[in-house]
Structures are given as structure tokens and as C-alpha cells.
Structure 1
Amino acid sequence: MKINCIIIDDEKLARELLIEFLEPYTDIEIVAECSNGKDAVEKINELKPQLIFLDVQMPGMDGFDVLENIDHRPFVIFTTAYDQYAIKAFDKSAIDYLLKPLDEERFKIAVQRASERIGAEENNVEELISSLKGSIEGGAKFSTHLFVQKSEKLLNIEVKDIIHLEASGDYTVLTTKADQFLSSSGIGKLEERLDPEVFIRIHRSSIINLNFLKEIEKHFNGGLIVKMENGKSFPVSRTYAKQIRKKVV
């Protein structure tokens, strides 16, 4: 398991020392460094690290201001020269509170705590997904619900509400009337869980829900275009055109 982390400190030497201390930890990847609170908020929300090393006193926005302004919730190890903020830090669910100058042995303990907490949370999420799938789907051959991650939440969406699915690299974009969701499963894997009487593969990169199909248009070159009720159109590849033609009466 790779742990992404961001180092946030207005002192360059402090950031360099943290980088040096983290070198032996091949499972921890530093994805960004920030020298002020404003940049830290942007990077945390953008990169969504599992772990941050956060200084308390910084010009403008301090470490606690950063935590108040972020949408993503990483695990936090505070690094500061001031001990009077420790109680407040642990009120913010900090994993640890390291005083400068940093002691390497004490640093190792903090990182070990962080690794254990992050690992436990990852395992709990996987177990929860598995449990939820089993309880809702029971012995059904096709899924009636899917659990997708959005921000820090696992959302339960009904399969019947999915209008279409589109491949995006190794991921899949699921579109409903209300929202879009990004699944970490490939479109082929998801296809196996969908009822083929309702969901038809029309292209290697797209699947549509027939219940939301508005019309089929014949293209000048003999190809087909499907138009969905939400206004989205998809070309039908020759490989999958027979799936559509089977529905024509």
C-alpha cells in the first residue's frame, strides 16, 4: 500500500529535514511540498493525500486554519516548535505532535502510528464494501446497487438509475440523472454485474441503459447513433450494432 503525503512548513530547512527522514520509507510518497496555508489547502483538496506533516505557525493561514478549510480529511502529524498547541492538535484527531528540533527516533514512532492507522482504515473500507455488496445483492446474479466513492464517502447508487457508463482509462464514469461518479472498476468488469436485458454495450468504451434510450439515428455511412434522454449521444460500433438491432421489431 502506497501512502501519499504532503509536507507543509514555511521553513525550507524544516521541509528538507522531513524529506530526509522520510527517505527510508519506500511506502510513503511525497506528492507535494507547501510553504504556506493557502497552497496547502489547494494541494490537499486536489491531491487528497492520506497523510500530511503540518506546521502550526505559518504566516497568514496557520495549521489549524488549514484543517478548517479543507474538504479532504487526511491523517495529520503536527510538526512545530511550540508545545502549547498540543491539546488543540489532538482535539483535531492528530496522529502525533512532534516538537522541533525533530528527533529521528521520535519521528519513526509517529510514522509507524500513521502507517498502522492508514492501513487499518483501508482494510475496514474494503471489508465494508464487501459486506454491503453481499447483504444487498444476496444471491442475485446481477447487481441492484453499486457503491462508489465520492470525496470521503461511499455512496450507494441504484443500478436502475444509471443512464450510461463510459470508460475513462482504467476507470469508469457512471452517469445518473442527478450526478456523475467515478468507479475504480473497468467498464468490462462492471458490465459483468449488469443485466444485459437492460444495459447494452454499444462500444468498447460505452454502455447504455435501454430505459433511458430516446432514439436511434441512422448515420449517412450506415452507422448508428443512440441518443439518450439526458441529451447525450453515442456512436454504436459495428462490433456491437447487432445488440441494438436485436431490439428492433
Structure 2
Amino acid sequence: MTREASTLRSFLVDDEPLALERLQRLLATFSEIEIVGTATDPSLAVATLNDPRSEQVDVLFLDIQMPGMNGFELLSRLTTQPFVIFTTAFDQHALRAFETNAIDYLLKPIEPEQLERALKKLGRLRPIAKPDWQQNPALPRLLLELTASLREGHNAYPTRIASRVGERISFVPLDDITHFIAQDKLTFAVSNGRRHCIDQTIADLEHRLDPAKFLRVHRSALVNVDWIHEVNSWFAGKVVLSLKDAQHTQLTVARDRVRTLKDRLGI
């Protein structure tokens, strides 16, 4: 069976599961869009998109700032270039996005009106055909230059994290988060004394966040080192952290992580 001529095959890439889930829900309301794949891992996305057995993609919804591989680098590794709609939390990336001849960019959290605007813009370029810019031999070099400039200005680590309450998704700045804690099979980011539910495990966060800022001090706790106020050694070698927050939160450090903590803090 052939697909409808008006249907656009789309692939979604975003390292934030909640943001990806929200985009899927929004796109489900547009009959002209068919989602043929998603990925939270940029490397997996490259492998899938370059696989000749995979369906050809008309439009790629692509996050820019991702750990390990940013959106520009991902594009530089594709054997063919689809149309691109960037999804980003950073206004300053907009110019760079348009330099790659993207269709549009959507600022997170994405709103339905934004998405509709981008899809209408894409629709005006139909029928889908490979434009000149996608055949430009200089495109891979441009994308690598953008990758390099992005890394110079911003590291590969996120600066905020998604939290969901019901159908609402909010983004919490990582600088404001004192610590993450796992409790009752859930993970919470604590900011200004409030808990925000995070759809990731402590182990996931340990690998995803900047290790210069976030340190795992217990199997169920990850602390923002900038918020550490005191390190207290108690009896039997027990170490407890006191944080700078209004609650003066205390976190116990696991024995096998005390040495790493002291090395990080230079004590």
C-alpha cells in the first residue's frame, strides 16, 4: 500500500524523553505528518537514518544541544539531507540553524501554534524535492564548522531539565537545582525547596549531566557541587553534606564515594 501523497514522513531526535513525548503528541494532531521513527540517542539516530533499509525521511525534527553529539554534527554525518526543523531551548542557536537552511526552529517548550507555523512553511516548499542546498558539496564542512563553534561557546551538557506534572511539562534550570534524589521508584530534582519529578534515573543523570557540576554521592542522590556548604565527618567515618539552600538540606555520602567527593572539592 502506498502512502498518501500529502503525507510527510518525519523522524524525531531529542535527548530529553519528555520533550520528545510532547512533540509526538503535538504532531499526532496533524494528519499530514507520519512519524516513522524517534531517538533520544543521536548516534542511534544517525545509524537509523543512514540505514538503506529504513524508510526515507522527508523532515527531521532535531534538537540542537545534546550530550555527545549536537544537532549540527548529527546532520554532518547523514548520507542524505532531509528538511530540518530544529527544536531548541536556546534562542542564540537560531541564526546558526538558519545558516544550515533549516525550515524553521521551535523554541522549547514547543507550543501548537509554533508547530503549525513551521509545518505550513514546510508545506509551501512542496512537492518535496531535494533543493540545491542539500546537494551543496560544502554543506558537510559548514556543519562541522557550526559543530566546532557550538562547542566553543557551549559545552555538550544541558543547562536545564524537563519535569512533568500531568500533561504539563516545565523546564528547570540546572544551576538552580541543589540535588537530585531517588525515592519510591521516582526521581526528583530539588530546586528552591520544591521537588520536580524527572523522567530519568540517578544513573542516567550521572552520565548525562556535567560531571564538573554534578557528583553522585549515594546510589540515590546526585548533588550540585556549587550548592555544597559544609562537609561534616561524623563517627565511624560517616560523611554528611550540608547544602546552601534555605532548608539546609543534609545528604549522606556513601563510603565508596567519600574519596571522590574529597578529591573533587580539594580537601
- Tell me which interval the TM-score lies in, with the shorter structure as reference length: 0.3 to 0.5
Q: TM-score, normalised by structure 2?
A: 0.44
The structure whose Rg is larger is 1
Q: TM-score, normalised by structure 1?
A: 0.47
